[in-house]
Amino acid sequence: MQREQQIADNLARVRERIAAAARRSGRASEAITLVAVTKTHGPAIVRLAQAAGITDCGENRVQEAEQKIAALRDLPLRWHLIGHLQRNKARRAVALFDLIHSVDSLRLAQTLDRLVAEQAPPRRLPVLLQINVSGEASKEGFDLPGGLDNRQALPAFYATIAQIVALPHLELRGLMTIAPYSNDPETTRPVFRALRLLRDDLARRFPQAGWNQLSMGMTNDFEVAIEEGATIVRIGRALFGERIA
């Protein structure tokens, strides 16, 4: 009961912070989806989170998620893949996740499109494109440091996006990024702003796709991300405490 109450209290505090950040940016808190990052937390903890009001869970690794999702099939949860996806695990990811945040190459997008096409009945897989706008070498994503300011890289980037938009079995919903870790969330604001401006540009250039979602912001910086336009925030430590591994 103590752990259950702790998660419920943490969730209430996070939702209050989301609502305050939304008010500061003139938005409704209902427009922001909280994805609880459940990686390294077992099914029992996820059950407590769901009982407290969590509806969306984020996992980094396909293998860990596969076992967890199987154990929690009785719960009405939406599952998000927020970690790097290797193409050799794409088939399993297509079967498991409601939204894949981390499409980071044309080849991965083409692989996912082909795998979805093989399924029956036909459907479209919701995805986000992961963009590395910070330029950190350790970050995955389409390499576009500086976003729209990177004029040299933009033509090739636009050509790639045009090919992804044309894939018939992917439902493109927007962009995702991971900002550099910092104890000062203000230092991440330019990264989030760059992603939003890039999203706005892509929406004008490729109106046939959906660009409504911006997945950005974690425990350290989600309030700044919301102020800059985030519609999905991915939060683990503020809900569950430090990761086990």
pLDDT band at 243 (very low <50, low <70, confident <90, very high): low
Q: Is 244 or 60 the better-scoring residue by pLDDT? A: 60
Query: What is the tally of structural domains in the chain?
Result: 1
Look up residue 182 and give its two tokens. 């910092």
C-alpha distance from residue 224 to each of 13, 93, 163, 244 (Å): 16, 30, 32, 26
| pLDDT on residue 242 | 73
Question: What does the angle CA 54 – CA 123 – CA 67 come to, to the nearest 5 degrees?
Answer: 45
Residue located via tokens 């995955």: 140
| Mean pLDDT estimate for the chain | 96
Which structural domain range is residue 168 located in? 2-240
* Percent of the chain topping pLDDT 70: 98
53 in any annotated domain: yes
Task: Report whether 6 contacts 26 (CB < 8 A).
Answer: no
Radius of gyration of the chain (CA): 18
Report the pLDDT averaged over residues 150-175: 98
| pLDDT on residue 245 | 45
Residue 34: name the closest of 78, 91, 84 by CA: 78
How many whole angstroms separate alpha carbon 202 and alpha carbon 78? 27
Strands 99-103, 125-132: pairing kind: parallel
9 in any annotated domain: yes
Residue 51: pLDDT above 50? yes
| pLDDT on residue 121 | 85
How many whole angstroms separate alpha carbon 64 and alpha carbon 39? 8
Report the pLDDT averaged over residues 151-174: 98
DSSP single-letter state for residue 166:
T
57-106 pLDDT per residue, tens: 999 999 999 999 999 999 999 999 999 999 999 999 999 999 999 999 99
| pLDDT on residue 32 | 98
pLDDT band at 1 (very low <50, low <70, confident <90, very high): low
175 in any annotated domain: yes
Residue 189: pLDDT above 50? yes
How many whole angstroms separate alpha carbon 198 and alpha carbon 144? 10
105-123 pLDDT per residue, tens: 999 999 999 999 998 887 9
60 in any annotated domain: yes
How many whole angstroms separate alpha carbon 91 and alpha carbon 87? 8
245 in any annotated domain: no
Residue 27: pLDDT above 80? yes
Q: What is the CATH number of the domain that holds 6?
A: 3.20.20.10
How many whole angstroms separate alpha carbon 101 and alpha carbon 244? 23
* Percent of the chain topping pLDDT 90: 92
Residue 124, beta-bridge partner list:
none
48 in any annotated domain: yes
Residue 176: pLDDT above 70? yes
pLDDT band at 196 (very low <50, low <70, confident <90, very high): very high
80 in any annotated domain: yes
| pLDDT on residue 122 | 78
Report the pLDDT averaged over residues 114-143: 94
Question: What does the angle CA 111 – CA 113 – CA 118 come to, to the nearest 5 degrees?
Answer: 95
69 in any annotated domain: yes
